[in-house]
Copies of this chain bind each other. A is one copy, B any other.
Amino acid sequence: MNLESTTRTHLPFGDKHDSPFYGRDIVSVRQFDEDDLDYIFEVAHEMQAMVARVGTFDLLKGKLLANLFYEPSTRTSSSFTAAMERLGGSVIPINEVRYSSVSKGESLPDTVRTLERYADVIVLRHPDVGASAEAARYASKPIINAGDGVGEHPTQALLDLFTIQEELDAVNGLTVTMVGDLKYGRTVHSLSRLLSKFDVALNLVSPEILRMPAEILEELAESGTPFSEHDALDPVIPATDVLYVTRVQKERFEKEAAYEAVKDAFVVTPATLEAAKKLMIVMHPLPRVNEISMEVDADPRAAYFRQMEYGMYVRMALLAMVLGKA
């Protein structure tokens, strides 16, 4: 009988390390304090420098990532795959979950406890709020939340903040304007929470029916973060350092007329940016439909594609950290 030696410890295969994030799950932005953020961004910045210099390197050579996506997300899945491969690690892509054992009724805890027998870290995308926290309770290996329904998408929030810091050199002192659907937009909720740890002012611009939820506003107030709500973009543009755009979806409106009446007020065009600072950035979590016109893409202030690249560096940092290699 050999139970002891086969009972999995929390160590990845063939590895023994000591590092502050080693073996931890990345489930929510709420788990990070400012020191954590500093550390993550410092490592992400190093990742960027290494990629610029050598493209890839073998920091995670021999490590396996199970990329477990219960719903498709090309962007996030590709970003984690690229992050792992640029670190010299390998990926087990699991995209077809909907057709597979899950349709035979397997629970998430069982799927996760199987995959951690093969892999060293699991990235999980799931349509249900709380799925990552549940997976983390059962798994011994690190779980990284890649979005759980309308819940959290912590790596998105981290890459948003990292983008601001890298593009504008600092977060403190900035005026951040969020525009679009502030009610249902998971990204603006998480980013607001992260920004509330810094010395920033927020402009919240949305149609009346898509205003930022009271819960978030209370958190902003508690943290002493100045914010104001607006129903048009143009008045707040001149003071804006970061313009974070999200989509206003037609389906959110009961009547099409109500949608038609407001939609143009939240579209960013070259004309919008004429009134903006020379040194500011336009961000978007993508996919973008028409809420930023394509003419804006050529403007150096359009940071949304660079934002995607920062995301890869943040995910490289997190993978290296939870595997004890940073």
**Which A residues fall within an 8 A CB radius of B?**
1-3, 6-8, 12-15, 51-57, 61-64, 66, 72-75, 78-79, 81-82, 85-86, 90, 92-97, 99-102, 104-106, 109-111, 113-115, 117-120, 166-169, 279, 286-289, 294, 297, 300-301, 305-306, 308-309, 312
Contact = CB atoms under 8 A, between A and B. Distances in A.
A113 B51 contact: no
A167 B78 contact: no
24 contacts: A1-B167, A3-B301, A6-B306, A13-B52, A13-B55, A13-B56, A14-B52, A14-B55, A14-B56, A57-B62, A64-B82, A64-B85, A64-B86, A74-B102, A75-B101, A78-B114, A79-B118, A81-B118, A82-B92, A82-B118, A95-B96, A106-B287, A106-B289, A109-B294
Contact of A73 (B86, B100, B111): B100
Residue from A3, A78, A96, A109 with most neighbouring chain B CB atoms (10 Å): A78
B110 A287 contact: yes
Nearest to A7: B300
Contacts of A55: 12-15, 62-63, 120
Contacts of A301: 3
Contact of A105 (B94, B117, B118, B289): B289
B2 A106 contact: no
Contacts of A167: 1-3, 6
Contacts of A57: 62
A113 B306 CA distance: 9
